[in-house]
Amino acid sequence: MVAMESRTIEQLNSENIVLQEKVAELSAINKIAHILGTSLEFEEFLDQFIVAIQDIVKCDHVLILVQDDQETILQYGASNFKLPGDQQSNLEGLRIGTFQPEPGSIVDTWSNGNSVWAKPQTNEDNLSIKWLSTYLKTDSFFGTPLRSENNLIGAIIIDNSTSGKPIEKEHQYWLETISPSGAMALQNARLHHKTVRELADSMREMYILRQIDRELSDTININHVFEMTLDWALRFSNAQSTSLALFDQESNTLHFLFEYGYDVPQEQLDIIRQEYGSGITARVANSGYAEVVPDVSMDPDFVRMATNTRSQMAVPVMREDRVVAVITLDSKKLNGFTDAHLDFVQKLATRAGVAIDNARLYEEAIREREKLSHILNNTADMVMVIGNDERIILINQAALNAMQLYTNQDYTRRLASETFEHTALWATFQRAKNSGENIIEEVMMPNERIFHANLRRFEGIGWIVVMHDVTPYKEMDKLKGELIATVSHDLKQPLSVMNGYIELMIMQQSVTQQGLNSVHMIRKAMQNMRQLIDDLLDLAKIESGIKLNLEAVQIEQIIQDCIEQVKPAAQNKAITVINNITETLPAIMADRSRMRQILINLIGNGVKYTGTEGWVKIGSEIKSNTLRIAIQDNGMGISPEDQIHVFERFYRVRRPETDNIEGTGLGLAIVKSLVEAHGGQITVESKLGEGTTFYLALPIAQS
Ligand code: ADP
């Protein structure tokens, strides 16, 4: 209290003033801080910032400079400076470099955290102040830096040129008071602005990449892929020029395919490259790693192709682990490429790599297709592919000829029924379709030629039909058959005469015992010869189209008869013949005696080619409309090489173990012809030394 009383009115007044000043200072800072919280929109923030500065500092004009994203310049942010006429737009173009500023220049002073007070007399000595005074059309201004964590992020410039009042210490005081919180507010607004923009950029990037993917997947032209890639790279990275070079790893050479935006003429580019090499592009081609060079003047490898290039980015286009091309982008800005630019161009390069692959694969596929179609159209074999929808996928010239279709018409996509229903192949195709099995058979085509047809089902495709013209073989075969038939017939007659005399000699008993032995040998040989001739004649008859006496027969009964018939031979070798058919089988349409001939042959062979104490088993199986009879033995077996030939005439397997077995090699040929005459099929499965199974597939009679 005592102290209080001792204070004078003056003292109190001056304390009051200090207090008021402090309050004013606080309220000014508060005001700036308030802006920080209210506006997120960058432009709006800058406008409000100007109003607040003007309000607190009490000056005529305010100009706020802000640093650009690359942090290389201070540029116009917002202002209420009024320059005469068209110079207002100049103001908005105001840019001051911050990269390596001259010592003592405005930027240098600001970077060090100091304000600049330009007065007419100082303007003359300091070039940068003089330049800015002229630019802003004012001879006195005050500029204070906006710094965040010691980095220059902007500046505030004020002047009083309208009112003509000089800038006072007070102005300086207020401006410097609010600048730290102003800088904080600016930094926040910038960060927010940057985040929003980055978000928009990544949205844009996503959108563009989607579009790129769509366009690239539609493109099969490699040059077009490159052109599009460069166009997007240029647009997205704000580069001024770009090139794309193909790289050949073997010869280590770059071939520049596209170049955009260089101010040096094309011929000169080539000359420069010949003389100085391809600089950073070549480096990236060799390393396979993308590079961003923020300042080309610092890179010893850089080769200048455009006068104003200041930074460069080069990205490799890879296929598997090889560099196939390099995209190079030039910017006239220092540090002109951000991580986002690099990331985007790398994504583009990846896509271009895939697109190149696709385009190459497509070209290869086309080439292969042309080759294949050339081969297909020049082969004498009929080739046809039918899709699952029963439409023609492929049909070659030979097929068109054989079907007597128009050779100059395109039958692809046509229905199979429209294309070959008129041919015998249609029935074969229907059978293959209904049974789901592959079919191999001979078909007579409308051009009256006989084809060996092979119909195969391919999952996911449909059916492939390959048909080989066997007409010449058929004709030769027929001739051979006729010849054999004639000769055999002519042989039969002298054979009968010889046989008569032999029998007479035996009856007359006019020869010695030794002579009689020889006569018996001759009789045996003649019997074999007769068997051979009978077989030959029989085969010729069957092949020329025998008339079968078809009736519904129960094959299990015939099998039982045949077993009885071969029993003596089997018993001689202690071979067991086992009939595994116990149930009644569906009837088949067959010629009873021919069916017996078939089965005797097969069961007889089983006994003939099986060693003592072996077995022969007969079984059956029903599969859709087919009755399958299996005649299995555990005899000597047939090698795969011999299996293909056993149904041929006169084919006999030559092995030591078959040496003493008699035969003509005609049995299976007759069996095959007979089975086929019945509309059936015969196949063999065998393993040498283990045994053989013959399968007889016969169509079941439709009741
Ligand atoms: P062959 O009169 O020689 O018996 P085939 O036409 O009946 O004539 O048979 C042709 C050849 O097939 C025979 O020579 C024989 O080597 C072989 N073969 C036939 N059936 C069998 C079988 N069940 N086991 C082993 N080989 C056989």
Cα of 616 from ligand 1 centre, angstroms: 14
Cα of 605 from ligand 1 centre, angstroms: 6
- Minimal-distance CA residue to ligand 1 atom 16: 653
What pLDDT does residue 544 have?
75
What pLDDT does residue 1 have?
42
Distance, first Cα to last Cα, the chain = 135
pLDDT tens readout for residues 598-610: 999 999 999 999 9
Determine the atom of ligand 1 nearest the C-alpha atom of 694. 23
**pLDDT classification of 376: cutoffs 50, 70, 90:** confident
And the tokens for 520? 């018996």
Closest CA to 680 of 595, 569, 557: 595
Residue 664 in contact with ligand 1 by CB distance below 6 A: yes
Task: Tell whether the torsion through CA atoms of 206, 209, 215 and 218 is positive or negative.
Answer: negative
- 481-489, long-range: CB < 8 A, 24+ apart: 481/539, 481/540, 481/543, 481/544, 482/540, 484/536, 484/539, 484/540, 485/536, 485/537, 485/540, 485/541, 485/544, 488/533, 488/536, 488/537, 488/540, 489/537
Residue 633 in contact with ligand 1 by CB distance below 6 A: yes
- Minimal-distance CA residue to ligand 1 atom 4: 663
Crossing angle for the helix pair 592-608 and 555-572, to the nearest 10 degrees: 30
Residue 37 has pLDDT above 70, yes or no: no
Answer whether 221's CB lies under 8 Å from 245's CB: no
Cα of 609 from ligand 1 centre, angstroms: 7
Residue 132 in contact with ligand 1 by CB distance below 6 A: no
Residue 692 has pLDDT above 60, yes or no: yes
Determine the atom of ligand 1 nearest the C-alpha atom of 670. 6
Give residue 553's identity as a one-letter amino acid code.
V
CA distance 687 to 693: 9
Tell which one of 529, 534, 609, 610 to mutate to probe ligand 1, the residue whose CB is within 8 A of the most ligand atoms. Answer: 609
**pLDDT classification of 39: cutoffs 50, 70, 90:** low
Tell which one of 668, 670, 687 to mutate to probe ligand 1, the residue whose CB is within 8 A of the most ligand atoms. Answer: 668
Answer whether 257's CB lies under 8 Å from 266's CB: no
User: DSSP states of 42-82 as a string?
Assistant: HHHHHHHHHHHHHHHH--SEEEEEEE-TTSSEEEEEEE---
Instruction: Tell how strand 576-579 and strand 615-623 pair up.
Output: parallel
Residue 658 in contact with ligand 1 by CB distance below 6 A: yes
Helix (H) or strand (E) holding 104: none
Residue 48 in contact with ligand 1 by CB distance below 6 A: no
Would you call 246 helix, strand, or coil by DSSP? Answer: strand
Cα of 637 from ligand 1 centre, angstroms: 10
Answer whether 285's CB lies under 8 Å from 312's CB: no
pLDDT tens readout for residues 74-89: 999 999 888 877 777 7
**Over pLDDT 90: what percentage of the chain?**
40
Cα of 646 from ligand 1 centre, angstroms: 7
pTM attached to this predicted model: 0.42
Determine the atom of ligand 1 nearest the C-alpha atom of 610. 24
- Minimal-distance CA residue to ligand 1 atom 11: 652
Average pLDDT over residues 36-57: 80
pLDDT tens readout for residues 420-474: 999 999 999 999 888 888 888 889 999 889 999 999 998 888 999 999 999 998 8
Determine the atom of ligand 1 nearest the C-alpha atom of 665. 8
CA distance 166 to 531: 141
Residue 636 in contact with ligand 1 by CB distance below 6 A: yes
CB count within 10 Å of CB 395 equals: 25
Residue 668 in contact with ligand 1 by CB distance below 6 A: yes
Residue 692 in contact with ligand 1 by CB distance below 6 A: yes
Cα of 105 from ligand 1 centre, angstroms: 111
Cα of 674 from ligand 1 centre, angstroms: 17
Residue 592 in contact with ligand 1 by CB distance below 6 A: no
Residue 271 has pLDDT above 80, yes or no: yes
What pLDDT does residue 3 have?
46
pLDDT tens readout for residues 218-234: 766 778 878 888 888 88
What pLDDT does residue 486 have?
83
